[in-house]
Amino acid sequence: MSDSPVRPVASSGTFAIGGDLPVHRLGYGAMQITGPGVWGEPRDRGEAVRVLRRAVELGVTLIDTADSYGPFVSEDLIAEALHPYPDDLVIATKGGFTRTGPGEWVPLGRPEYLRQCVEMSLRRLRLERIDLYQLHRIDPEVPLDEQLGVLRDMRDEGKIRHIGLSEVTVDELEQARRHVPIVSVQNLYNLTNRQSQDVLERCDAEGIAFIPWFPLATGKLAEPGGKLAEAARRHDATPAQLALAWLLHRSPVMLPIPGTSKVGHLEDNAAAASVSLSGDEVAELEKLA
């Protein structure tokens, strides 16, 4: 008799980031395990630790965080909850913002600052190498080759395995790829906001992971009696689960990272991996928005 745990997230399929980092496609975003305004400690630190541990139990093998979440709180919690890490767990983190207060984010891409960001994330996460390090924002005041150059140097030093970007246009992605291989893009994208559709299409064509942040924004579509709510009922699912399922069916390079600070919500999100949609249903949901 097998005692292996049920890992529903495995049903989301697998994608190899950079060609050599296989992850289950439904991941977890660790921004919400901090305080209000993504600032300070969570209201319930014990629950935050339970969420992280439960995510791994459910089959999550991609956790996305950033040094600016807290700041520093999210990375500290991940290490507290999960170190020593499972062999198949990929922790992606980001740098390139400074925090001046709750809800305040200021890009800073000077090479010496980005080097410090990487070194401090390594220390907080208790890692010798960060599997996926993403430039949180391109700083318009610093030449792009300088921002990516220091990350490339740290990759060559063995401190970063792969480099990604966040909130970029197609042109910015292509400019960056002239300086260093880019294996992931993390842009705002969900059922009701598809302004990054052209970026997704480029990532799809090039085999670049596309990590949509804020994947559960469904707005009025999810209200009782709304079209998304009706479609969810037909699938015996919640509107949030259907919105995540739509993302997973939208592209094989899509790696949604829904975040939550509650174990119950996490388990509900994980169930989205098992929601099956036909091509017609994917198109129908797309038209709803």
The 10s digit of each residue's pLDDT in 107-146 is: 999 999 999 999 999 999 999 999 999 999 999 999 999 9
The DSSP annotation for 171-185 comes to HHHHHHHTTS---EE
Sole residue written with tokens 């997973």: 248
User: 59 phi and psi, to 5 degrees?
Assistant: 110, 5
146: CB partners within 8 A, 6+ apart? 109, 110, 111
Residue 110 structure tokens: 């000077």
Q: Please state whether the peptide bond connecting residue 42 to the residue before it is cis, i.e. omega within 30 degrees of 0.
A: no
28: CB partners within 8 A, 6+ apart? 52, 55, 60, 62, 63, 64, 257, 258, 259, 266
Sign of CA dihedral 97, 71, 31, 288: negative
The predicted structure's pLDDT at residue 1: 34
Judged against a pLDDT cut of 60, whether residue 3 lies above it is answered with no
Give the model confidence (pLDDT) of 31-81 as tens digits: 999 999 999 999 999 999 999 999 999 999 999 999 999 999 999 999 999
Residue 99 structure tokens: 């925090």
Is 69 noted as a catalytic residue in this protein? yes
Going from the N-terminus, what domains does the chain have, and what CATH number goes with each?
Answer: 11-216+251-260 (3.20.20.100)
Residue 103 structure tokens: 């809800």
3-state class of 189 per DSSP? Answer: coil
CA neighbor of 131 nearest in space, from 65, 202, 203 = 65
By the 8 A CB rule, do 254 and 210 touch?
yes
CA neighbor of 8 nearest in space, from 81, 60, 82, 62 = 60
Question: Residue 41 gets which letter from DSSP?
Answer: S
Question: Residue 86 gets which letter from DSSP?
Answer: P
Continuous segment of H or E residues that includes residue 92: strand 90-95
Confidence of residue 4 (pLDDT cuts 50, 70, 90): very low
pTM, whole model, 2 decimals?
Answer: 0.95
220: CB partners within 8 A, 6+ apart? 226
71: CB partners within 8 A, 6+ apart? 39, 99
Residue 65 structure tokens: 């965080």
Q: Which has more confidence, 76 or 2?
A: 76
Percent of the chain with pLDDT over 70: 97
Q: Please identify which of the residues 69, 85, 133, 189 carries the catalytic annotation.
A: 69
The predicted structure's pLDDT at residue 5: 60
Which residue stretches of the chain are H helix?
A: 45-57, 73-82, 111-125, 144-156, 170-177, 197-206, 227-234, 239-250, 263-270, 279-288
Confidence of residue 288 (pLDDT cuts 50, 70, 90): confident
Give the model confidence (pLDDT) of 276-286 as tens digits: 999 999 998 88
End-to-end C-alpha distance for the chain, whole angstroms: 47
Report how far residue 69's alpha carbon sits from residue 33's, in angstroms, rounded to the nearest whole number.
9
Max CA pair span of the chain: 60
